[in-house]
Amino acid sequence: MQHHDPVDAREGAGEATSAALKSRLTAAENVLATLSVDLDGELRFATGLLALTDRRLLARETDGRWREWPVGQLAPEPLELQAGDHAGVGTLDLVGPDGNRARWRYTLAQQAAALQLIKRFAQLQSRMTPTALAEPDDPRAAEPDAPPPSTWVLLRLGRFARPYRKQLIAGFLLTLASTAATLVPPYLTIPLMDDILIPFQNGQQIPVGKVVLFLAALLAAALTGWGLGWARTYLLALVSERIGADLRTTTYEHLLTLPLDYFGGKRTGDLMSRIGSETDRINVFLSLHALDFLTDVLMIVMTAVILVSINPLLAVVTLVPLPFIAWMIHVVRDRLRTGFEKIDRVWSEVTNVLADTIPGIRVVKAFAQEKREADRFHAANAYNLQVNDKLNKTWSLFTPSVSLLTEIGLLVVWGFGIWQVARGRITVGVLTAFIAYIGRFYTRLDSMSRIVSVTQKAAAGAKRIFDILDHVSNVPEPANPVKVDRVTGRIVMKDVGFRYGSRAVIRDLDLAIEPGEMIGLVGHSGSGKSTLVNLICRFYDVTDGAILVDGTDIRRFAVADYRRHVGLVLQEPFLFFGTIAQNIAYGKPDATREEIVAAARAAHAHDFILRLAHGYDSLVGERGQGLSGGERQRISIARALLIDPRILILDEATSAVDTETEKEIQKALDNLVKGRTTIAIAHRLSTLRKADRLVVMDRGEIVEVGPHDALMAKEGAYWRLYQAQLRQVDDDPTAGSMATERLGVAVALSNHAAHPAGEA
């Protein structure tokens, strides 16, 4: 029996799709952009293709059917491509005057290709000619065109340098003084040659005192230059390190203020690369190369002034290569800044593979996909190498060319200087000093040309940093926030609406929740339950209407102050690397050990914590490795209990555990919900039987509200959901026994809540 690798099968399907596309193209038809559609309508992995040509939009659906729409001048009516994304799934809609014509879904790995396709489509629809054509089989053809970073972006770092302006001024003065000190020795060669060495060759005696004086002056200039150079290097290095640290801190702090939808469109590896390697690159530029650049500029200016003062005509000859070098720097700079920006994007793809694979190593090994991930890394690394090789080809030609021009300039000065000496217009000492100064002049000019590369790298890094800093949160802080001392937990939603991009997710929603009431949110996937919870937590802001807590619009509260009164227990609890105690006290870092233990006891976590090797001081691995799902969930419940929130959000808190663990978690949840306004999401309707009211949602709207028994008697939307789950249970005997047991637990707990001990 043969076994087929699903990845190989998918790649084979992709090759077959590309071949089928080529067979459908006419002789003169050019493909402008393509998009691999890797999800079907039910969000299962599948193989499809969108191809935009200069005549039509071709679509091979995931079921194998081909569809097409004329575009550009051939289109009978205006069409538009609209993109959206939510929870890692991208959506592309083809919209006509009377509504949607087609919809495709894809993973966000295809987002760059989708954006490129939309751009080309818009160009065609506006009768514009695309600037470049992309081959359908080139996976890199769909990279988005980003404007190259301008060197002037580095000036924006001035806001981080402002607190250290006194040190920077002192550093500039030290640089000026040290540069001046290094220019003294060549000037002293004039009297050494003309007054001492040449007269000695003509038979005169060497004046020892004058020689000692000149040598002492040379030594003093050297020691002064060394001391001043050390002081300015050390001072400016300290300042640049602090500027780099401030830049990292500011970027990270701003990143934490950005809304969830920003992170939904970014890769972890890319953000890590920006805050880590990009700030390091800027720091190296500020601490080393910016200082060298300043020294080079001062050296060139001061040397030019000295050369002109000695002999203006010879100085003009010295500057002959300068326009050619400046022109080369201008041309190469444009290529370098584009190339380094591309290198940054490509390198972020390498780090993205690492950021995907290392946290998900368990899944990689479970499905034996080590070779596949190694191939992904190899492909990303090979492309990174290819882009670097292309840039190095330009750079390797530029550097020797500058050196050649400086050598030619030196040769011209020698020739012209000898001619001037022969005609008696300058002395040998003057020519010797000129050659010494020119050597320094051209050395600094060559050094400046080399700094072009480093400057463009720093500019590319600064642009990527400021892309984060320039992003404004769509959950803004109020100008005059209302103080939140205590919350009773009454939540009122008035005409709430929310749009995600161009798609309406919540529409005209009205709901009032009383303090201490438990509300269960039910509905099909995509009905808007999680979005509603995110709005209450203020992870997003409503686009219409308002959400009031204790009669105040939550947008009038400071975000951090408001969220301190909201507890969140997720379906997949996230634990940080650290001790058990640190994870429980995450929301209240100053909590005492007694408070931590009390929260763990209430969450039914105390017993299993004591069984660990170091109890509450036991280290939790990254993302909670080393603990079971139920243990992680109970720690997250203890974390929520410790902050004593008045509003509690439970998002599928018991859906991913076994029956026995669910019993323990349910006991912990019973302690957690007491006296709190609770909003619980659950796909298993039996777990919500003890809710005071159930809110049934469908397509972003509330269709039913009421207790379980009343909604069942109504035989409406909730009754249909319940019956559908029962039929699903009937089809699966194993699931049926588990569901029956869970239902029994829920009923028992519900009865216990209704009849406490002593009242039964």
Average pLDDT over residues 232-246: 83
Whether residue 684 is predicted with pLDDT greater than 60 in this model: the reply is yes
Average pLDDT over residues 675-694: 79
Q: What is the pLDDT of residue 512?
A: 92
Using an 8 Å Cβ cutoff, are 279 and 241 in contact? no
Distances (CA, A) of 164 to 275, 472, 478, 740: 22, 27, 31, 69
Using an 8 Å Cβ cutoff, are 543 and 499 in contact? yes
Whether residue 501 is predicted with pLDDT greater than 80 in this model: the reply is no
Q: What is the pLDDT of residue 510?
A: 92
* Higher-scoring residue by pLDDT: 162, 501: 162
CA dist 14 and 6 (Å) reads 12
CA dist 458 and 154 (Å) reads 8
DSSP-derived 3-state class of residue 207: coil
Q: Report the predicted TM-score, pTM, of the whole model to 2 decimal places.
A: 0.55
Using an 8 Å Cβ cutoff, are 14 and 8 in contact? no
Q: What is the pLDDT of residue 738?
A: 42
Poorest-pLDDT segment among 344-348, 495-499, 534-538: 344-348
CA dist 474 and 261 (Å) reads 9
**pLDDT, tens digit, 9 for 90 and up, residues 286-343:** 766 776 777 777 777 887 888 788 778 877 877 777 777 777 766 776 666 667 667 7
Whether residue 146 is predicted with pLDDT greater than 60 in this model: the reply is no
Q: What is the pLDDT of residue 539?
A: 85
End-to-end CA distance of the chain: 63
Q: Shortest CA distance to 493 belongs to which of 521, 519, 512?
A: 512
Q: What is the pLDDT of residue 734?
A: 45
The first and second tokens of residue 726, run together, are 């029962």
| Summary mean pLDDT of the chain | 76
Torsions phi, psi for 461 (to 5 deg): -65, -40
Task: Read off the pLDDT band of 242 (50, 70, 90).
Answer: confident
CA dist 430 and 433 (Å) reads 5
CA dist 414 and 431 (Å) reads 8
- Which burial class, exposed, middle or buried, applies to 653 when counting CB atoms under 10 A from its CB (0-12, 13-18, 19+)? buried
Task: Calculate what percentage of the chain has a pLDDT beyond 90.
Answer: 2
Q: What is the pLDDT of residue 493?
A: 92
CA dist 513 and 702 (Å) reads 14
Q: What is the pLDDT of residue 473?
A: 72
Average pLDDT over residues 208-215: 82
Whether residue 1 is predicted with pLDDT greater than 70 in this model: the reply is no
Whether residue 750 is predicted with pLDDT greater than 60 in this model: the reply is no
Partners of 695 in beta bridges = 521, 705
- Among 310-314, 735-739, 740-744, the range with the most confident prediction by mean pLDDT is 310-314
Whether residue 645 is predicted with pLDDT greater than 90 in this model: the reply is no
Q: What is the pLDDT of residue 615?
A: 87
| DSSP assignment of 414-444 | HHHHHHHHHTTSS-HHHHHHHHHHHHHHHHH
CA dist 408 and 402 (Å) reads 10
The first and second tokens of residue 97, run together, are 């005057």
Using an 8 Å Cβ cutoff, are 233 and 225 in contact? no
Average pLDDT over residues 661-688: 74
CA dist 128 and 125 (Å) reads 7
* Higher-scoring residue by pLDDT: 740, 497: 497
Whether residue 133 is predicted with pLDDT greater than 70 in this model: the reply is no
Average pLDDT over residues 178-206: 77
Whether residue 744 is predicted with pLDDT greater than 60 in this model: the reply is no
Task: Read off the pLDDT band of 548 (50, 70, 90).
Answer: very high
DSSP-derived 3-state class of residue 305: helix
**pLDDT, tens digit, 9 for 90 and up, residues 78-132:** 788 888 766 557 788 888 877 788 888 887 677 778 888 888 888 776 644 333 3
* Higher-scoring residue by pLDDT: 481, 410: 481
| DSSP assignment of 38-97 | EE-TTS-EEEEEEEEESSEEEEE-TTS-EEEEE-GGG-SS--EEEEEEETTEEEEEEEET
Total length of the chain: 760
Task: Calculate what percentage of the chain has a pLDDT beyond 70.
Answer: 79
Average pLDDT over residues 69-75: 77
Q: To 5 degrees, how large is the angle CA 116–CA 122–CA 126?
A: 150
CA dist 134 and 434 (Å) reads 56
